[in-house]
Copies of this chain bind each other. A is one copy, B any other.
Amino acid sequence: MAFRFDLQAVDGRARYGKISTLHGEFETPIFMPVGTRATIKGVTSQHLRDMKAKIILGNTYHLTLRPGDELIRDVGGLHRFMDWQQPILTDSGGFQIFSLGHLRRLTDEGAVFKSHLDGTLLELTPEKAVKIQENLGSDIAMVLDECPSANSTDEEIQIAVNRTILWAKRSLQSQRSGTQSLFAIVQGGMNLKYRQFCAEELVKLDFPGYALGGFSVGESPEQMHALLPECASMLPELKPRYLMGVGRPIDLLEAVDAGIDMFDCVMPTRNGRNGMAFTNRGIVRLRNSMHQREMLAIQSDCSCYCCQTTSRAYIHHLLHCDEMLGGILVSLHNLHFYLELMQECREAIREQRFQQFRQQCLAQWALAV
Contacts and interface: CB of A to CB of B under 8 A. Distances in A.
A197 to B, nearest CB: 39
Interface in A202-254: none
B321 A324 contact: no
Contact of A44 (B75, B295, B317, B325): B325
Given A292-B71, A320-B66, A38 B314 contact: yes
Contacts of A282: none
B41 A321 contact: no
B323 A39 contact: yes
Nearest to A74: B293
Contact of A313 (B44, B81, B305, B311): B81
A82 B324 contact: no
Interface string A15-47: 000000000000000000000011101111110
B71 A309 contact: no
A75 B293 contact: yes
Contacts of A311: 75, 81
Given A293-B75, A321-B37, A324-B324, A313 B42 contact: no
Q: How many copies of this protein are present in the complex? A: 2
A83 interface: yes
A325 B41 contact: yes
A75 B295 contact: yes
Nearest to A45: B309
Contact of A292 (B39, B67, B313): B67
Interface in A312-343: 313-314, 316-318, 320-321, 323-325, 328-329
Given A76-B295, A82-B310, A82-B314, 18 more contacts: A37-B321, A38-B314, A38-B317, A42-B42, A42-B324, A42-B325, A43-B325, A44-B309, A44-B325, A44-B329, A46-B305, A66-B321, A67-B317, A71-B293, A75-B313, A81-B311, A81-B317, A324-B324
